[in-house]
A and B are shown apart, each in its own frame.
Chain A
Amino acid sequence: DGGITQSPKYLFRKEGQNVTLSCEQNLNHDAMYWYRQDPGQGLRLIYYSQIVNDFQKGDIAEGYSVSREKKESFPLTVTSAQKNPTAFYLCASSISQGRNYGYTFGSGTRLTVV
């Protein structure tokens, strides 16, 4: 079955450490997105990519970085510059840029600072 796989499901980060969240899709979708979800809040856009080797900052990109070397993969790195990284991170994809007919989401990664 086609879908989006996020790993790991749970991740613990020490202060000053960089961590990378994986997102892989086999839907042949062009566009991929990273959102952050905090309790009682909606989703906030971190980064998005419309094609391979290109990506743009979203509303809360500070302290995060991404790459898009393959169509299927869009990993997110949470750097030590992100001061409040504890949150639920969701990766999503849509069939093409501009024509958003709805996202397919992964099952999320819950990141906790210890």
Chain B
Amino acid sequence: AQSVTQLGSHVSVSEGALVLLRCNYSSSVPPYLFWYVQYPNQGLQLLLKYTTGATLVKGINGFEAEFKKSETSFHLTKPSAHMSDAAEYFCAVSAETNAGKSTFGDGTTLTVKP
């Protein structure tokens, strides 16, 4: 079984400030972890992924995330927020033994203030 908890359904930051979106997961086998971004009335776009290897992964648009097995976390960060980062962000977990199915968190809406 696998599950994802995203802490904070809404996060607000000022432009230029650090972005931190929190994700904790549960998985009985080694997980694959993902962050996706969704703009209004659109599909989701893959930001970054962790499968194996380096625990700090870099993605598009300056985002990165660190896989911490001991904390079962995969938090998403960006050093400096831009207005265009305002969107909804989803964390997801999958596993090679699970037919590629992903379980998604409930999402975090990021607001960026000028």
State the A residues within 8 Å of B (CB): 4, 6, 31, 33, 35, 40-43, 45, 48, 50, 56, 58, 90, 92, 94, 96-108, 110
Contacts and interface: CB of A to CB of B under 8 A. Distances in A.
B46 A102 contact: yes
Given A42-B107, A100-B94, A102-B49, A48 B99 contact: yes
B114 interface: no
Interface residues of B, number: 27
Contacts of B106: 40-42
Contacts of B101: 33, 45, 48, 58, 100
B72 interface: no
A76 B64 CA distance: 35
A100 B43 contact: no
A101 B51 contact: yes
B49 A101 contact: yes
Binding site secondary structure of chain B: loop
Interface in B82-106: 90, 94, 96-106
B64 to A, nearest CB: 16
B41 interface: yes
Give me the 7 closest cross-chain CB pairs, A-B, nearest first: A105-B43, A100-B100, A42-B104, A100-B94, A102-B46, A43-B104, A42-B106
B44 A90 contact: yes
Interface string B55-97: 0000000000000000000000000000000000010001011
B50 to A, nearest CB: 10
B14 interface: no
Contact of B43 (A45, A101, A107): A107
B104 A98 contact: no
B45 interface: yes
Contact of A42 (B45, B100, B105): B105
B41 A56 contact: no
Interface string B1-32: 00010000100000000000000000000001
14 contacts: A33-B101, A42-B106, A43-B104, A48-B100, A97-B100, A98-B98, A99-B100, A103-B34, A103-B36, A103-B46, A103-B102, A105-B44, A105-B45, A106-B43
